[in-house]
Structure 1
Amino acid sequence: MTQDEAILLLEYVASACPAQRISEFTPDVWGELFAPYHLDEARAAVITVAARQPFVAPADVITEIKARREERIELAHVVYDGNPLETGAESAAARRALIRAAADGQLPPRTPAAALGTADRPALPPGETGPYTARVAAARAAVGQATPTAREGVVNPRAIPCRACQALPGVSCDARGRRMSDVHPARLEDARRKAAGLPPLDPAEARAAEDRIRAASAAALAQHDTTEEPS
């Protein structure tokens, strides 16, 4: 908020609370106190505070602003999955920027993807694939980053979608609604193939390979059970 905006805010306060005393130095003090905040959110906070008490103190307005910002952060369900190629400092800065964007209202409220059924998830904008919304792209745009892309010769599983859990590029895999620290083996295999310049594995072929592995495991277990000596 600028000094001129602080004067406008005080005029708003004077209209809401005519009995409140405002001196010639009040705009200077309010300008310093409200410098980190936006005029619109301060005005909304003034209305809320003035509706419950006869005078509007800066501390009460700032408390209201912070409460609404924390609420927006909570409703946005901020998740920053990061990029394996960025440094720890870059990752921390990007997460702070993402949280700030949520507090400013740049990220709309959302229901965590894990809590939604496939049929309940919103439709995707043109050009995007997967069962989630465009929030990943919007979030990364808010912090000045693009969604990770796969590069030849570099194995970065999070740069490609996961066919096991349908996670989009830049989003961690999840298992039963919980974010995984690692990725699904299928996603890692797909990333390795892409880095090697190989075509994606055919889903039918992948399922057939998994079935063969399960059948071989079952046969080995059965063989072990039949050859085990009785105690």
Structure 2
Amino acid sequence: MTQDEAILLLEYVVAACPAQRIGEFTPDVWGELFAPYSLDEARTAVLTVAARQPFVAPADVITEIKARREERIELAHVVYDGNPLETGAQSAASRRALIAAAADGLLPPRTPAAALGTADRLALPPGEPGPYTNRVAAARAAVGQGIPTTREGVVNPRAIPCRICQALPGTSCEVRGRRMRDVHPARLDDAKRRAAGLPPVDPDEARAAEDRIRAATAALAAQAVTTEES
């Protein structure tokens, strides 16, 4: 909040509480106290405080602002899966940016992924065409971070979607609704192929190869049983 916005906020306070005294240096003090917050959230907090008491103290307004910010963070269920290429400091900065975005109301309330079905987890909000334009990408872009992308010669499995659990780029693989510490082997293989400049695996060919392996295994098992019976 700027000093001019602090003056506007005080005018709002006087309108809500006509009996409240405003001194010569009150705008200066309020400008310093409310510098970390936006005018809109401070004005909303003033209305809430003024509705329950005759005078509006800065401490009461700030307490109300913090309570609403914590509430938005809790409802957003912020989850940052991380990027293997980030340093610890970069990962911490990205998580702080997401939490700040949630507190500012940039990340709307959502249900935790573990409580959703696969189709719900994959669905994007209306108007968002793909994973690289979702709300998390927008929030991380504000601090110079982006959804992990592939780079030539670098194996980063989280930069590509998983063909096993359908996890989107930048998110962890899941098994029965729980996030995995590592990714599915098939996703890692796909990332290695992309880093080496090779085309992605054809799903039909992959399934055919798996069928051949299962058939060969079954044949060996049957042969072993026949040999034991002999």
Instruction: Specify the TM-score bucket, using the shorter chain as the normaliser.
Output: 0.7 to 0.9
State the shift of 1:89 in Å.
Answer: 0.8
Q: Which amino acid aligns with 1:65?
A: I
State the shift of 1:152 in Å.
Answer: 2.3
State the shift of 1:143 in Å.
Answer: 2.9
Q: Which amino acid aligns with 1:160?
A: I
1:11-160 alignment to 2 at 5 Å? 11-117=11-117, 120=120, 121-122=123-124, 128=130, 134-160=134-160
Unmatched runs of 5 consecutive residues or more in structure 2: none
Instruction: Flag the 1:73–1:123 CA change in 2: closer, same or farther, 3 A.
Output: closer
Q: What is the distance in 2 between the residues matched to 1:84 and 1:222?
A: 44
Conserved? CA contact 1:161–1:167, under 8 Å = yes
Conserved? CA contact 2:3–2:28, under 8 Å = yes
Moved more, 60-69 or 214-223: 214-223
Q: What is the distance in 1 between the residues matched to 2:148 and 2:217?
A: 37
- Deviation track 1:157-216 (CA, whole Å, cap 9, x = no partner) reads 011111111112111112222222211111001111112222111112222333444556
Q: What is the distance in 1 between the residues matched to 2:61 and 2:221?
A: 68
State the shift of 1:147 in Å.
Answer: 2.1
Give aligned-pair identity as a percent.
Answer: 83
SS in 2 for 1:101: helix
Conserved? CA contact 1:77–1:110, under 8 Å = yes
- Deviation track 1:110-157 (CA, whole Å, cap 9, x = no partner) reads 33444444555346757636xx98234323323322222212221110
Unmatched runs of 5 consecutive residues or more in structure 1: none
Conserved? CA contact 1:167–1:173, under 8 Å = yes
SS in 2 for 1:171: coil
Match in the other structure for 1:183: 183
Match in the other structure for 1:171: 171
Q: Which amino acid aligns with 1:31?
A: G
- Deviation track 1:87-120 (CA, whole Å, cap 9, x = no partner) reads 1111111211121122112223333444444555
Q: What is the distance in 2 between the residues matched to 1:64 and 1:222?
A: 72
Number of corresponding residues: 226
Conserved? CA contact 2:97–2:139, under 8 Å = no
Instruction: Flag the 1:222–1:49 CA change in 2: closer, same or farther, 3 A.
Output: farther
Instruction: Flag the 1:44–1:194 CA change in 2: closer, same or farther, 3 A.
Output: same
Conserved? CA contact 1:136–1:170, under 8 Å = no
Q: What is the distance in 1 between the residues matched to 2:222 and 2:77?
A: 47
Instruction: With the length of structure 2 as denominator, give the TM-score of the two structures.
Output: 0.84
Note the aligned Cα RMSD (angstroms).
Answer: 2.8
Q: Which amino acid aligns with 1:74?
A: E
Q: Which amino acid aligns with 2:58?
A: P
Q: Which amino acid aligns with 1:44?
A: T
